[in-house]
C-alpha cells in the first residue's frame, strides 16, 4: 500500500489500483475507517472499514476487512439485490465472504441487512 496524491493507493493482485480518498477515523484506536467515492476494494488495509459515499455524504456501501485485508462483509444501501435462498429482492442487503485457513475465498452468502444498521457515515 502506498500514498497516492488523492489518498491511499492499494494495488490488488491483478495490478488494479484502488484509491481510498480519506483515512477518516480510527475506532477505539484499533479499526481504521476509510472513505471515498470508489467501490470498496476486494483487499485493502487489514482490520479496517471502507465506506463508499454518495454525493450527499450518505453511505452507498460499507465493507469490512479481516486480518489479511480480505473483504469479508459488504453492506449495500443503494440498490436492491435478489437473494436466491429467500426468493426476494432486498434493500439494504449484506454480502458475506468466507475464506479458508490459507486466506483463499471458499464461499459467499447474501442476507437482508439486519435492523440497526444505517447509511450514515461512521465518523
Domain boundaries, the chain: 23-112
pLDDT the model gives residue 4: 33
Q: How do the pLDDT tens digits run along the chain, 123 residues long?
A: 333 333 434 433 433 334 444 444 555 567 899 999 999 999 999 999 999 999 999 999 999 999 999 999 999 998 888 888 888 888 899 999 999 988 889 999 988 988 888 888 887
pLDDT the model gives residue 10: 40
Q: Beta-carbon neighbour count of residue 81 at 10 Å?
A: 17
Nearest CA to 24 out of 1, 2, 45, 41 is that of: 45
Cell numbers 475465498 label which residue? 105
pLDDT the model gives residue 29: 65
The structure's pTM equals: 0.73
Amino acid at each position: 500500500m502506498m500514498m497516492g496524491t488523492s489518498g491511499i493507493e492499494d494495488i490488488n493482485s491483478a495490478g488494479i489500483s484502488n484509491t481510498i480518498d480519506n483515512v477518516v477515523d480510527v475506532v477505539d484506536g484499533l479499526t481504521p475507517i476509510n472513505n471515498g467515492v470508489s467501490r470498496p476494494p476486494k483487499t485493502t488495509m487489514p482490520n479496517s472499514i471502507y465506506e463508499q459515499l454518495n454525493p450527499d455524504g450518505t453511505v452507498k456501501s460499507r465493507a469490512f476487512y479481516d486480518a489479511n485485508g480480505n473483504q469479508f462483509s459488504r453492506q449495500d444501501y443503494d440498490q436492491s439485490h435478489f437473494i436466491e435462498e429467500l426468493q426476494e429482492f432486498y434493500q439494504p442487503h449484506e454480502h458475506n465472504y468466507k475464506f479458508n485457513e490459507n486466506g483463499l475465498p471458499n464461499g459467499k452468502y447474501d442476507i437482508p441487512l439486519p435492523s440497526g444498521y444505517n447509511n450514515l457515515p461512521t465518523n
